[in-house]
Structure 1
């Protein structure tokens, strides 16, 4: 039975590790305490029917995993370069826990930020600040990698490649930090690098944009040549350009824009198919006069170049912002409702995890009751190159006393990552993935590759249907059982 492929929606949340914003609560906590806290966070968002977490694994030239290219993060271990006191690999463990809850794990990297502050005595001797001081530019209260140095690009590509090869991540994710946000009366000192590497009389601004483009293109090629099913997504600042600078820009008067200030050009990335999704950070209220959420959602949807657009929302501003619109607990509800009306928008992501988890739980519950009543699958991605069609798998429904389970007599194609079980009272309801269809998404690991027990809330259904999701998120035809 074919199922409605359109009923999909990205529901993601950023989990910021830098400065211990969301997790871990402290780098000095035991690993067992950190695990307990991470599971509590995952369970909270699972019950809200989210389907993806975007977890920061590189915050400032560091790593939340054993790396040949960066020291352990102090936000995980309390001291940069110190190993966590466990034999477990923290990143492998986090990915597994996420998948066991039927959610995607997007590994979030901050590429160019080398330090979070100027306290270089806290850095590991193996940090690039000491290994490659010629790569560093001091600007404001931080050090940054110089994006114009070819060896910097090569190093960052290797950082990404290491994680793609060694971990079962669903996506590589970059945030909005490319060239740094401007600091008044300070100059980003890359003039010497510009003179050395510019080509064909390039202007400084165009050369900087080209440096960022080169990194994005190289990361894309590295991901897809090694694991073509791993997505690459970027979450840029919410405004590309204001219309007073470019007639094709948005009707906004933002004080910062991607193109002119951060030297990031998301339209080029989308045109060239270097990314699979874009999450513009549209962190303003619906009618904010300088940059309205309403205007920007519509603008990005229109300028998507066949790239999936998810809206980046800002629950961290609720009841904590000079814009009084954020005092309305329904502001996020209005934004999500609006996104659902705009063709070309495929979901939302929220910054950040503690904003719903530690506070504003009323807003989170409203989001669930109005928009996320039931679970849903995240969007699928078509392979860029030919890949074999989905294979059929033999499936049986087995009753054993008061319990039921799905049984697989034969081996399952290793390209299948999840099994999805639907339960409903009629086939049309299941086929359309109606809201009263129960969805159970199960990670296919060693424990579940032979059989999957049905969840209790499926027992009273008249029909059970099972499908498989491959690593691209493509879903097989459903095998249907009538419960008698």
Structure 2
């Protein structure tokens, strides 16, 4: 991400999975953009399921989030992964966006790219004892009812913080003509067909082999400009501050060979448009290829948060990804080449030149196909610097998204401040924003057929109702949505689809649940007909 080289994960104590699975379901919050539901007015019919995408990025590059340092033992890597997932579940998040390809390398076994040094301490070295980290993350996330989106950097070939040599099999060594030195980075030239093909091959390999819920790419297309002749990050830093880059001489990205080859082949576009078209072709190919492999895997992009200069709302100024990164995010929305957009809106609501709400409205207005818009929040700006956010700023930004019908979620950059509970942000989110579980919004353009109603049987045992859950025939079930009524209050929980049993403990004040209602939810968020359970008799 734009800011990821500045953050580090610090170990934090998380809730245990056992406590999460045995705990009582929590109160239903406001459905985003809606008014409170009166439980007394609903009788035996529960309110609609709350729907909101609530995610956090987990960066592996430079060991920002996971693992906390390279070359940890396998046991420690897995322990840290479980702690992150437990914290996400405990905060009522419902998705993790895990970086699986930091720099043309992999945190999973791959025949295409070497093991990442950020995982094992040396590029090309496999974990010992052998295990598959991505498979572990997917299984552990799904066991908690969380989605796992695999995050790929599409073009970076070597990060500035890398220390160990590239392997012989690394793309920079097998395709040296397609990789360019740019400051302290190596970059796959988007104008080279081999670069685009490698990224497509890597992404589709993961889609085929792993049970992921989404594919995600970040804001690094052509690299952020750096000063010539050094290796500074002036444009990137200025972009984050929300101001134009200072007067400077930028180092030109060295794609002259691919540009000349394009012209000699009869190409007519001017250079900036040609660069944008190189990226556009990758975006379209990924969207088509992912859904050809698995129709339910959603494709998301998290571009820089300020749009094209010629379309910006009055008063909005700042860095132009359109002119500097050659990322035409407005076109991708117009063409419908993505399932969700997470623009990095990394500025406060009150910062007029980059106002969070104004920028959110801008992206919503660029969305004719009504794709999901789930803005990225700069939660990591809660720190000990003079420019630190307060937790209230993040809660306010979540509240803003809930006033916009087209904005149905958020993604936090990154998990680190939530693990650290910086300035009480985790407690604030749980108390004021994420009081209850929520389903991920449905994605009807990829499929709208509902699964069959589940089979549910309840029995009374030891101060609790024990539910047995089974999917109906036909479509697979990813989750169960479960409502329980205690007195005049409805409570909502999300149960992982792999669980066959669930326990509803009696409430100390209200006693046992009087009504239980269950529905099945598929991979695209489609909800089945609901089944009403009468716990006292165990009948459906």
State yes or no: 1:208 paired with 2:271: no
SS in 2 for 1:416: coil
Partner of 1:473: 525
Q: Distance in 1 between matches of 2:171 and 2:470?
A: 52
Equivalent in the alignment of 1:332: 394
In 2, Cα distance between equivalents of 1:308 and 1:206: 27
What displacement does 1:232 show? 0.2
| Of 323, 328, 331, the match for 1:268 | 331
Alignment of 1:440 onto 2:493 = yes
Judge conservation of contact 1:416–1:471 (CA < 8 Å) in 2: yes
Q: Distance in 2 between matches of 1:6 and 1:396?
A: 21
Pair 1:81–1:462, CA change in 2 (3 A): same
| Alpha-carbon distance between aligned partners in 2 of 1:315 and 1:120, rounded to the nearest angstrom | 29
What is the aligned counterpart of 1:390 among 448, 451, 467?
Answer: 451
Structure 1 residues 284 and 424 mapped into 2: Cα distance closer, same or farther (>3 Å)? same
Separation (CA, whole Å) in 2 of partners of 1:204 and 1:222? 27
1:195 maps to which of 251, 255, 260: 260
Which of 139, 161, 164 is the matching residue for 2:207? Answer: 164
Q: How far does the alpha carbon of each residue in 1:16-41 deviate from its partner, in whole angstroms, 9 at most, with x for none?
A: 11010011011221010111111111
State the distance in 1 between where 2:64 and 2:417 align: 10
Tell me, in whole angstroms, the C-alpha distance in 2 between the residues paired with 1:474 and 1:422. Answer: 17
User: What secondary structure does 1:122 align onto?
Assistant: coil
Q: Structure 2 vs 1, CA of residues 409 and 57 (structure 1 numbering), >3 Å: closer, same or farther?
A: closer
Q: Is the 8 A contact 1:173 1:232 kept in 2?
A: yes
Counterparts in 2 of 1:2 and 1:123: CA distance versus 1, 3 Å: farther
> Which range moved further: 414-423 or 174-183?
414-423
Cα distance, 1:3 vs. partner?
A: 7.0
With over 3 angstroms needed to count, the CA separation of the structure-2 counterparts of 1:391 and 1:329, relative to structure 1, is closer
Write out aligned runs for 1:246-265 (5 A): 246=310, 248-265=311-328
**In the superposition, relative to structure 1, how do residues 298 and 288 fare at CA in structure 2: closer, same or farther (>3 Å)?**
same
Paired residue for 2:158, among 115, 126, 129? 115
Provide the secondary structure at the position in 2 that maps to 1:163: helix
Residue 47 of structure 1: CA displacement? 1.0
**TM-score, normalised by the number of residues in structure 1:** 0.90
Which residue of 2 is the match for residue 379 of structure 1? 441
Mapped to 1, the partners of 2:337 and 2:394 lie a distance apart of 30
Q: What is the Cα deviation at residue 482 of structure 1? A: 2.6
Q: Hey, what does 1:228 align to over in structure 2?
A: 295
Contact 2:453 2:472 in 1 (8 A): no
**Does residue 210 of structure 2 align to residue 152 of structure 1?**
no
d(CA) in 1 for partners of 2:305, 2:256: 28
Q: CA deviation at 1:405?
A: 2.9
1:421 paired to 2:482: yes
CA contact (8 A) 2:94 2:438 kept: yes
What pairs up with 1:61-80 in 2 under 5 angstroms? 61-80=104-123
- Residue 131 of structure 2, aligned match among 88, 91, 98: 88
Verify the 8 A CA contact 1:3 1:478 in the aligned structure 2: no
Q: Could you say if the C-alpha distance between residues 36 and 6 of structure 1 is closer, same or farther in structure 2, counting changes exceeding 3 Å?
A: closer
Q: What residue is the counterpart of 2:237 in the other structure?
A: none
Distance 1:466 1:355 in 2: 34
TM superposition shift of 1:414: 5.1
**C-alpha distance after superposition, 1:402-437 (max 9, x if no partner):** 4433335786545222222221247xx8xxxxxx53
User: Partner residue of 2:27?
Assistant: none
What is the CA distance between 1:391 and its match in structure 2?
2.4
State how far apart, in whole Å, the 2-side matches of 1:48 and 1:76 are: 26
Structure 2 counterpart SS, 1:144: strand
Seen in structure 2, the aligned counterparts of structure 1 residues 410 and 472 have a Cα distance that, compared at 3 Å, is: closer
Contact 1:304–1:344 (8 Å) recurs in 2: no
* Structure 1 residues 146-172: Cα deviation after superposition (integer angstroms, max 9, x where no partner): 111112111111100110001110000
Counterpart for residue 377 of structure 2: 313
1:452 aligns with 2:501: yes
Q: For the residues of structure 1 that align with 2:120 and 2:131, how far apart are their CA atoms? A: 13
Q: Distance in 1 between matches of 2:221 and 2:440?
A: 27
Aligned mates of 2:140, 2:323 — CA distance in 1: 40
Residue 103 of structure 1 pairs with residue 167 of structure 2 = no
Shift of 1:120: 7.3
Counterpart CA distance in 2 for 1:179 and 1:365 is 38
8 A Cα contact 2:97 2:216, kept in partner: yes
- Two-structure CA RMSD over aligned residues (Å): 2.3
CA contact (8 A) 2:287 2:337 kept: yes
| Residue of structure 2 equivalent to 1:300 | 363
Higher mean C-alpha deviation, range 189-198 or range 32-41:
189-198
The structure 1 segments of at least 4 consecutive aligned residues displaced by more than 6 Å after TM superposition are none
Which digits, 9 at most, give the CA deviation of each residue in 1:363-410, with x for residues without a partner? 22112211111111111111436x755323433223345443333578
Equivalent-residue separation in structure 2 for 1:95 and 1:280 (angstroms): 25
Label 1:396 to 1:115 Cα distance change in 2 as closer, same or farther (>3 A). same
Count of residue pairs brought into register by the alignment: 465
Cα displacement string for residues 329-378 of structure 1 (whole angstroms, at most 9, x for unaligned residues)? 42112211122112311111110111221251512211221111111111
Q: C-alpha distance in 2, partners of 1:42/1:10?
A: 16
Name the counterpart of 2:346.
Answer: 283
TM-score, normalised via structure 2 length? 0.81
- How many angstroms apart in 2 are the aligned matches of 1:460 and 1:167? 41
Displacement of 1:192 after TM fit?
Answer: 2.0
